Amino acid sequence: MTFSSSHRLANGVPDLAYKQGLRRNLIARLLTVIAGLFAAIAVLPLIAVLVYVLIKGGQKISLTLLTELPPPPGLEGGGIANAIIGSIVVTLIAAVIAIPVGVGGGIFLAEYSRGGKFAQFIRFGTNVLSGVPSIIAGVFIYGTIVTSRILFGNAYSAAAGGMALSILMLPTVIKTTDEGLKLVSDDLRRGALGVGASKFVTVVRITLPTAFTPIATGVVLSIARAAGETAPLIFTALFSPFWSEGIDGVFNPIATLSVLIYNFAIMPYEAQNELAWAASFVLVLFILGLNLFARWLGQFASK
Helix (H, G, I), strand (E, B) or coil at 115: coil
Helix (H, G, I), strand (E, B) or coil at 151: strand
Which amino acid, residue 285? L
What is the rounded distance in angstroms from the CA atom of residue 84 to the CA atom of residue 238?
A: 15
What is the rounded distance in angstroms from the CA atom of residue 229 to the CA atom of residue 105?
A: 24
Can you give the pLDDT at residue 92?
93
Which amino acid, residue 173? V
Instruction: Considering only CA atoms, give the Rg of the chain.
Output: 26
Can you give the pLDDT at residue 209?
87
pLDDT digits (tens, 9 = 90+) for 104-134: 999 999 888 877 788 889 889 999 998 889 9
Residue segments in the chain with a per-residue pLDDT below the cut of 50 = 1-3, 5
pTM of the model: 0.83
What is the rounded distance in angstroms from the CA atom of residue 118 to the CA atom of residue 122?
A: 6
Q: Which residues contact 90 (CB under 8 A, 6 or more apart)?
A: 158, 161, 162, 165, 233, 237, 254, 256
Angle at 122 between CA 219 and CA 208, to 5 degrees: 40
What is the rounded distance in angstroms from the CA atom of residue 225 to the CA atom of residue 229?
A: 7
- Which H or E run contains 181? helix 158-182
What is the rounded distance in angstroms from the CA atom of residue 54 to the CA atom of residue 74?
A: 24
What is the rounded distance in angstroms from the CA atom of residue 53 to the CA atom of residue 278?
A: 8
